[in-house]
Every structure is written in structure tokens, then in C-alpha cells.
Amino acid sequence: MNAARTEILRRIDAAISRSAPVEIPRTYRGPSGEGRGSAAVVDLMQDRLVDYKAVVHRVEPAQVRAVIAAALADAGVERAVVPAGFPTEWLPSGPAWVQDDPALTAAELDDLDGVLTTCRIAVAETGTIVLDAGQGQGRRALSLVPDYHLVVVLADQIVASVPDAVAELDPTRPLTWISGPSATSDIELQRVEGVHGPRRLVVLLVTG
């Protein structure tokens, strides 16, 4: 194995021995932080999410609990996993809340109706929600196996662009970028929402 390493490095050296270093012109729009959490950015986020066929609710902080209750009732979600750190004041009475402690097996997760999470950051231009397995988000499997994912996004977590998000994320954490429900275009390039990941993505955009 070390022989392979030595040999590949030798081949590379031989191939590029006279290559000059390359300048990278970063004239594109880089991270600016502009517009973060503004009404325009929240509007754009909503527009993009709807385009992906996610269900979007724009709510005031005081309404979160009631809107979650209505959304879950509407979807028939009776048992959902709630990651550690998800604000308990947002949890309505009614559904059974399951903790991931001790860690649920994949089969146990598959038996649940849904999952509720917060997020790390969101990107308006692309309608993307990023989870980094932090507080309120749980390990990656939680937001993957259940067929229904409700995610609460606070307005000041929404940045304008992809560069804004990359600048803020910690690469050593496991990251999941979510842009709409799972989808495929493998059959005649016709988009179908809902394959292996959650088929229903419900997003609460909390403003004010």
C-alpha cells in the first residue's frame, strides 16, 4: 500500500514538475452577510422552498406551537422524534414525542411518523436548509429515516447566498444541505418529489 502511495506521488511529480502556481481570481460575489434575516431574504427563501414543493408556513414566534400542532394533525403525524435541544415550548400536546436517548435503531426510526428539527443556517437564493447535527437537530439519521420532516427556521438564520453559508459553517461537523423534499428526475427527466429521504418537508419560517 505504501508502494502505491510512493508510486502515485512519483508519477504526479514527474507529470507536473514544471507547473507554475495558479492564481484564483475571486471576482464573483463572495460572502457579504448582506440582507441576513431581512424581509426580502425571507421572501426569497419562501419562494424557493415552494418551488421545490416544500410546505411553507410564515409565522410569528408566538404562533410556532400552534402551527406545529396544526401541521402535524394535518399530516397525521402521531409519533415523532424530537432531538435534544429542540425548544420544548414549541411542542404541542397530543403527539407522542420520542427521544433519541438511548439512540434509536434505523428500524425504530422507520416506525415513527416524523421528525422535528431546528437548523444551523439557511440559504435564500437556493432555498437550502443546512443541518450540522447541533442542538435541536440531532444526528443525521433522525432527519433522514422518518418520512415527514418539519424544520423550524428563524429569520436571522437565513443568509442570502451560498458563500455566506459556507463562511459560517464548521466543516468538522457532519453537514446535511437540504433543498426541498427528496426527489428524482431519473425517469424521462420528469421530477418526482419523494424517494428515499422524507417525502414531505414542512418549513416554518419564524419572523419578528
Partner 1 sequence: MTTDLGMPAFAPRGVGHLRGDQSFPEAAREALGNKQLRSNLGRATATIRTKRAAVVAEVPDWADLRTAGAAIKDAVLADLGAQLLRLEKQVTAHGGHVHWARDANEANRIVTDLVRATGQTDVVKVKSMATQEIGLNEALAEAGIAAWETDLAELIVQLADDRPSHILVPAIHRNRTEIRDIFLREMGRAGVPAPAGLTDEPRELAEAARLHLRAKFLSAQVAISGANFAVAETGTLAVVESEGNGRMCLTLPKTLITVMGIEKLLPTWRDLEVFLQLLPRSSTGERMNPYTSMWTGVTPGDGPQEFHLVLLDNGRTATLADPDGRAALRCIRCSACLNVCPVYERTGGHAYGSVYPGPIGAVLSPQLTGVKDNPSLPFASSLCGACYDVCPVAIDIPTMLVHLRAEAVASKGMKAERAAMGGVSSLMRHPRLYGAALRMGRLGRILGRRRGVIRRLPWPMSAWTRARDLPLPPTETFRDWWVRTHGSP
Choices 57-65, 68-76, 86-94, 102-110 (CB under 8 A): range interacting with partner 1: 102-110
C-alpha cell at 96: 407522542
Tell me the one-letter amino acid at 111. D
Q: Which stretch binds partner 1 (CB under 8 A): 8-16, 62-70, 76-84, 85-93?
A: 8-16
Contact 89, 107 (CB under 8 A): no
Binding test (CB under 8 A) with partner 1, winner from 28, 76, 88, 89: 28
Q: CB of residue 93 vs partner 1: minimum separation in angstroms?
A: 30
CB 152 within 8 A of CB 133: no
DSSP codes, 43-62: HHHHHHHHHTT-EEEEE-GG
CB of 43 vs partner 1, minimal distance in Å: 15
Whose Cβ is closer to partner 1: residue 89's or residue 188's?
A: 188
Q: Is residue 102 near partner 1 by the rule CB under 8 A?
A: no
Build a one-symbol-per-residue string for 32-71: x at contacts with partner 1 by CB under 8 A, - elsewhere: ----------------x--xx-------------------
Query: Side chain identity at 173, as an amino acid letter?
Result: R
* CB 48, CB 127: distance < 8 Å: yes
Q: Is 26 a residue that touches partner 1 (CB under 8 A)?
A: yes
Binding mask 124-163 for partner 1 (x = CB under 8 A): -xxxx----x-----xxx--xx----------------xx
Rule CB under 8 A: is residue 84 a binding residue for partner 1? no
Q: Could you tell me how far CA 41 lies from the centroid of its own chain? A: 17
Q: Which of 23, 76, 88, 93 binds partner 1 (CB under 8 A)?
A: 23
| Residue 192 found at the interface with partner 1 (CB under 8 A) | yes
Q: Should residue 7 be labelled a site residue for partner 1 when binding is judged by CB under 8 A?
A: yes
Name the strand (E) or helix (H) holding 107: helix 106-111
Q: Binding partner 1 by CB under 8 A: which of 95, 136, 146, 197?
A: 197
Size of the site for partner 1 (CB under 8 A): 76
Which burial class, exposed, middle or buried, applies to 175 when counting CB atoms under 10 A from its CB (0-12, 13-18, 19+)? middle
Q: Taking every pair of C-alpha atoms in the chain, what is the biggest distance, in angstroms?
A: 69
C-alpha distance from residue 145 to each of 113, 157, 162, 182 (Å): 10, 25, 26, 12
